[in-house]
Structure 1
Amino acid sequence: MAQTITMTPIGVIHTPFPDRVSTPRQPHAAAGAEGRIELFPGRGLEHAVSDLEGWEFIWVIFWFHLNEGWRPKVLPPRSAGKRRGVLATRSPHRPNPIGLSLVRLVSVEGLVVRVQDVDIVDGSPVLDIKPYLPYAEARPGARTGWIESLAPTAEEGAPPPDPEPGFEVGWGEAAAAQAAYLRDEHGVDLVGPVERTLRLGPQPHPYRRIRAEADGTLRLSVKDWRVRFCVQGRLVTVLAIGTGYRERDLALSEDPAVAPHRAYVARFGRDGERSGC
């Protein structure tokens, strides 16, 4: 018989990642990213974190607060196009949207716990914190399920790689001018979100809103903006910025959010001017 369980968050975590697209999928891809867990007052939690500062890593158990529903099967980036049972993955689309992340502890200051290498969306409710015990929890030789079946052979070649940190992001002259115009004239900052996402890896994948284009470039969607880029080795070059609005909406919509797009198109065109990679 199903049992109903009620949980009350002990705090909230603040991170540089405002949405799911820009958030690294694992802590190893979030090296250096800083976060701040703010524990709620009035519950004695300042005493609950006593002695925590001596640990180097902690587990943060949190709630995927942006999720709506769940999926029995999901499409992980490394699954070579095959859907997998969600309980055999680390996907956030779970029956109970509980997240588990191993982060580096920086300091404990009263009700504030500062961490690094954080891969959690800003504003996520924190359910619990536990210290990491290497001797009890590290199992380097453990089997890795269906991921092992994707190990490349000489005949098969390598499976689609998981995006990895360490890509360098540069801006072409045209794209830099377009980004500066949006920032200075309309208060739209695309540089931060674009670079955070592309540094993690430029591989096309629907969850990350990256797709390949017919001309060999790639396109990243950031809200209603479309950013063209190309890849050479570990260098990602942003080529141009375009709008995601249709011409009809640009012409007729009275939504204030369309105004920057309308002004941008009048100056640069729908897809922006760009040079080659």
Structure 2
Amino acid sequence: MSSAQDKDLVLNPIGIVRTSLVTKVEAARQPRAAQGAPARIELFPGRNFEHALEDLSRWPLIWVIFWFHHNPGWRPKVLPPRSTSGRKGVFSTRSPHRPNPIGLSVVRLEKVDGLNVHVLDADMLDGTPVLDLKPYVAYTDSHPDAGNGWLDDAGSSPGSTQPVDPVSAYNVTFLPLAIEQALWIETRTGLGIEERIRSTLMLGPEPHPYRRIRRTAEGMQLAVKEWRVRFSVEGRDVRVLAIVSGFRESQLVGESDDDVLSTHREFREKWSGRVS
């Protein structure tokens, strides 16, 4: 007689996510950190999902159960971006590196259009397989007294039941040069780099592989895609000094049809001499 651990479970995706986020470093940590980020969930045709979607639009929030398709393996201990006391057991975290890479996010439902479910606050990548959709039901899903677990180690009041971020945020300010550069990048590429910088550094400026923060010869540095952000820290205040290209100068020499390299070449020429 076979036991449950001997049986294979078969999951068939019901659709995929369509969004502008294509790499893991672009994804927000949680839906709360992806405020306003739009996505479209395309359900597959020919499966009667048109009928399954009836009445879903009456719910302002929905659960999306999905598959972390970029995570082929798992880790029993992980280093969450908010941990100030070392690695944690993966079952005590929201890490995508799980034995079964199943994700669970609450998103705002914008509208249902045929087989397309439009949502906001999406923290999923383009092409993510969707396994199920369920309504978020406030009276049973909301538990304000749930506590904060090991996040209390990061400075929150132990046992706090307030529905606010338990981690005390750092104050992040941009110097004029960094503001100018961030605006240029956002206008030129569509990357919301200023918000990415703020949301990451507000969690803490110490070196962290997940947040892509490290110390360099020039000081503290944060990586956002191919950009490198230089900043300084004094107490709980973080000052964003400047943004530089993450490409080496030799990579940007000469002409290229690559849009990314062309953008970085233009950026470097524009701020040549203003950032060492």
1:39 and 2:65 equivalent? no
Moved more, 139-148 or 8-17: 139-148
Displacement of 1:193 after TM fit?
Answer: 4.8
Q: Which moved more, 1:32-41 or 1:196-205?
A: 196-205
Change (3 A) 1:262 1:24: closer
In the alignment, structure 1 residue 140 sits paired with structure 2 residue 144 = yes
Report the AA paired with residue 228 of structure 1: R
Partner of 2:163: none
Structure 1 pair 2/162, CA: closer, same or farther in 2 (3 Å)? Answer: farther
In structure 2, the residue matched to 1:227 is 229
Q: Report what 2:211 is aligned to.
A: 208
Tell me the equivalent position of 1:273. 274
Hey, what's the Cα distance between the residues in 1 that align with 2:132 and 2:173?
Answer: 36
Root-mean-square deviation (CA), in Å? 3.8
Q: Distance in 2 between matches of 1:192 and 1:263?
A: 16
| Aligned counterpart for 1:241 among listed residues 239, 244, 251 | 244
Please state whether the residue corresponding to 2:65 is helix, strand or coil: strand
CA distance in 1 between counterparts of 2:24 and 2:146 reads: 29
How many equivalent residue pairs?
257
Compare 230-239 and 50-59 and name the one that shifted more.
230-239
Distance 1:168 1:2, change over 3 A: same
SS at match of 1:206: coil
Matched position secondary structure for 2:33: helix
Maintained 8 Å contact 1:58/1:130: yes
Q: Corresponding residue for 2:198?
A: 199
Q: Distance in 2 between matches of 1:178 and 1:59?
A: 33
CA–CA separation in structure 2 for the residues paired with 1:262 and 1:228: 19
The unaligned stretches of length 5 or more in structure 1 are 154-160
**Who is 1:157 aligned against?**
none
Give, in whole Å, the separation in 1 of the partners of 2:182 and 2:50.
47
Amino acid at match of 1:226: R
Query: Displacement, 1:150?
Result: 4.6
Query: Which structure 2 residue ranges, 5 or more long, are not aligned?
Result: 158-165
State the SS of the aligned residue for 1:123. coil
| Secondary structure of the structure 2 residue equivalent to 1:53 | helix
Equivalent of 2:97, from 86, 93, 97? 93
Contact 1:56 1:104 in 2 (8 A): yes
2:31, 2:105 within 8 Å by CA — same for their partners in 1? Answer: yes
TM-score by length of structure 1 reads 0.74
The 5 A counterparts of 1:1-277 are 1-151=5-155, 172-173=176-177, 176=180, 180=184, 189=189, 192-202=191-201, 203-204=204-205, 205-213=208-216, 216=219, 218-230=220-232, 237=240, 239-245=242-248, 260=262, 273-274=274-275
CA drift of 1:273 comes to 3.1
Output one character per residue of 1:115-136: Cα deviation in whole Å (capped at 9) or x when no partner: 1122222221111000111111
Alpha-carbon contact 2:71-2:97 (below 8 Å) kept: yes
